[in-house]
Amino acid sequence: MSTTIQVSEPMLQRLKLAREQFEVETYEELLKVLLKKATKPTKSMYGAGGKIDRADLMKDLRDKSDRY
């Protein structure tokens, strides 16, 4: 089953260019690639800060004398 969508001329040119860049034959394949990229989860930033010494981590915590 085919469906027709209406796009402006500049958008058509961008779609043609994207089709060449992604090396796909049809606009359907292009849309699948673009949707997959758009819905791909972003990379986790867990651990991006690097390893921190326990001493460095603990130095900014309050001492018992700071408590009421």
Q: Where are the domains of the chain?
A: 8-39
For 1-49, what is each residue's pLDDT tens digit?
888 999 999 999 999 999 999 999 999 999 999 999 888 777 776 767 6
The pLDDT value recorded for residue 60 is 72
Give residues with Cβ within 8 angstroms of 24, minimum separation 6.
Answer: 30, 33
What confidence score (pLDDT) does residue 68 get?
Answer: 64
pLDDT at 67 over 70: no
Residue 24 class from Cβ within 10 Å (0-12 exposed, 13-18 middle, 19+ buried)?
Answer: middle
Cβ-contact 18, 28 below 8 angstroms: no
H helix intervals, the chain: 9-21, 27-39, 54-59
- Per DSSP, 45 falls in state -
Task: Give 51's pLDDT tier (boundaries 50, 70, 90).
Answer: confident
- pTM for this one? 0.56
If one compares 61 and 29, the residue with the highest pLDDT of the two is: 29
